[in-house]
Amino acid sequence: MRKLLALAVLLTASLMAAAPAMAEGETVKVTSVTCSGVTVEGGGYTEGQDLTVVAKAPQGEGAITDLVTVAAGDQGSLGPLTLKFGGQVPDGTYIVEVSTPGPGQRETVTDEFTIKGCGPGGGLPFTGNHTPEFLVIGFGLLVVGAILLRRAQLSY
């Protein structure tokens, strides 16, 4: 009876120790977002496992990056991997999707990210938002130039 109890305690302890590792599973996390691309990292995959990674609109409106297939690295890690946008991307919320290709069970893990100030009308630093100030400065310089030119003509 003691052996059976000891075996039950050891089995329970080993399952409890392994539970956090099993609960983590496959993950993906967006670590950086710029106007030209998004960088992702992840883990919990099988070492050497093929992974398909893509960034796209969440409502299935299409991909904003090319589909990239990579192999999971040491200890099942992913990345850091930078996905380049295929052009100007409108502001909004998007997802990165990592899936394990192949027949049978196809697992997909996603993470959400937001793009702001990169799309059309995103507020370029020296156009758009500052145009009125530059027009006033330009007009002021033209007036000052005209006054100086007039004074120079009168002094001859």
Question: Can you give the pLDDT at residue 66?
Answer: 80
Contact 53, 73 (CB under 8 A): no
- Percent of the chain with pLDDT strictly greater than 90: 18
Q: What is the DSSP letter of 118?
A: -
| Claim to verify: residue 79 and residue 130 sit in the same structural domain | no
- Residues 66-111: pLDDT tens digits? 878 888 888 888 879 899 988 888 888 899 988 887 665 568 888 9
| Claim to verify: residue 89 and residue 152 sit in the same structural domain | no
| Claim to verify: residue 103 and residue 142 sit in the same structural domain | no
* Length of the chain in terms of residues written: 156
List the CATH number of the domain containing 98: 2.60.40.10
- CA dihedral of residues 55, 57, 58, 62 (deg, nearest 10): -90
- Of 114 and 107, the structure prediction assigns the larger pLDDT to 114
- Number of structural domains, the chain? 2
| Claim to verify: residue 117 and residue 135 sit in the same structural domain | no
- Of 52 and 12, the structure prediction assigns the larger pLDDT to 52
How far are the Cα atoms of 75, 101, 116 from residue 120, in angstroms, in the given order? 41, 35, 10
Domain of residue 59, residue span: 25-122
pTM of the complete model beyond 0.75: no
Within a domain: 116:
yes
Contact 68, 78 (CB under 8 A): no
Question: Can you give the pLDDT at residue 136?
Answer: 92
| Claim to verify: residue 33 and residue 106 sit in the same structural domain | yes
Residue 131, Cβ neighbours under 10 Å: how many? Answer: 10
| Claim to verify: residue 57 and residue 108 sit in the same structural domain | yes
| Claim to verify: residue 154 and residue 88 sit in the same structural domain | no
Within a domain: 13:
no
CA 13 from chain centre, in angstroms, equals 39
How far are the Cα atoms of 78, 103, 114, 152 from residue 75, in angstroms, in the given order? 9, 23, 29, 79
Question: Can you give the pLDDT at residue 12?
Answer: 57
